[in-house]
Each structure stands twice: as C-alpha cells, then as structure tokens.
A and B are shown apart, each in its own frame.
Chain A
C-alpha cells in the first residue's frame, strides 16, 4: 500500500531563517506531487505541483521554492522566512497520469516568529 510522510511535524523558526520541509511517498512510482498551504481559518492554497523529477510548476509567486530531486521526494524550501509564511503545510500525491484523488500527508505546522 502507499504511504506519504512529511517531516518535521512542527517547526518554529525566526523571521529571515531558511526553511526545508520534506515529503516522501512510498509504494507508487512517478506520482504527481503537490504542496499546499493552509493558513489559520482559511482553505487550501496550492503552492507547487510536480508531474515528474525536476518538473515543478509554481502557482503563487512568493519566497518559497520546491524541488523534486528523486521520483518520490518533494521538498519545499525558503531562503528567508516571512511572518506570513506561518501555516499548515500539506504534501499530497496522486497517481501518475491521473487527476483523480489526492492523498494527503499528515502536515507540518510552521510558526514563524
């Protein structure tokens, strides 16, 4: 069966510090991968998606970036965090070539102080 992992589960970072969040998927090949942000009391905002290694599409211009160094690894990064980067970050995957169901990871709670 497929599983998706995210780490860390929680993170508290000062403004201006770098960020690296990691997401890995097991039990499937060449999945579509997604990063979402959920701010307090708000819905999901799609940040990035990837349909293959090295293929990243950005939805919202901001100080975040994403990379996919391996087939089932998706990394969200920032060089300098802003207060507005605080939120709940969710990674998700869907089957290769399919725009069907997305399967979500447990999320990372990021607080920028």
Chain B
C-alpha cells in the first residue's frame, strides 16, 4: 500500500528565509507525487506535480520540489518566503491501480515578519 509522511505538522520561517517542507512516500511502483496548498477556509490548489519526467519540478508561486527515488522523498522548497505563503501544504501520492490520491497529514507554514 502507498503512503505519505510529512515531517512536521507546523513549520515557522521568517519572511525572506528558505522554506523547506518535507515529504517521504512509500510506493511499490513509480509514483505520481503532488504538492497542494490550502488557504484558510478554502479548497486545495495544486502547487506542482511529478509524473516521471524531470526530477526537479517547478510549480506556482516560486515553489519547487525534487523527486529523489533513493531517499523516497519529494521535499518542497522556496528560496524566499513571503507572508502570503502562510497556509497548509499537503503532499500526496496516487495509489497503484486505483482512483485514489493518498494525502499526507499536512504541514502548516507560518511566516513571521
């Protein structure tokens, strides 16, 4: 069975600092991996996705993620945090042979002025 683990339910950074949100996955086959962002009281919005093309994936709002098969990781980064990046971020993987996306528990990002 596939699974996703997000390390750290809360991450706090200063404005202008590096953002690093960690995600590790478990999958018996090459996975599709996603990062979604959720602003308060809103639905989820796709940030970026990995579908077996380039291992470094660039998304919206300056975010990017690198697929590392040897580490089974798909960490999300942004060089310089903005106040508007404060939100909850979800890593996700598609399960094998089905129609279900498995979501991590989420990481809430706080950005300090």
Contact = CB atoms under 8 A, between A and B. Distances in A.
* Residue from the set A59, A100, A106 with the largest chain B CB neighbour count within 10 Å: A100
A103 B104 CA distance: 17
Size bin of chain B's contact surface: 20 to 34
Interface residues of B, dominant DSSP: loop
Interface of A: 32, 42-44, 46, 49, 51, 59, 88, 90, 92, 94, 99-107, 109
B99 A90 contact: no
A49 B43 contact: no
A51 B41 contact: no
* Residue from the set B90, B95, B103, B105 with the largest chain A CB neighbour count within 10 Å: B103
B94 to A, nearest CB: 5
A46 B100 contact: yes
Contacts, number: 53
A102 B101 contact: yes
Interface of B: 32, 34, 36, 41-46, 49, 51, 90, 94-95, 98-101, 103-106
Nearest to A106: B43
B42 A106 contact: yes
Interface residues of A, dominant DSSP: strand
A100 B101 CA distance: 9
B53 to A, nearest CB: 13
Contact of B41 (A43, A94, A105, A107): A107
Contact of A49 (B42, B44, B99): B99
Given A51-B99, A99-B32, A107-B41, A44 B90 contact: yes
Contact of A101 (B46, B95, B100, B106): B46
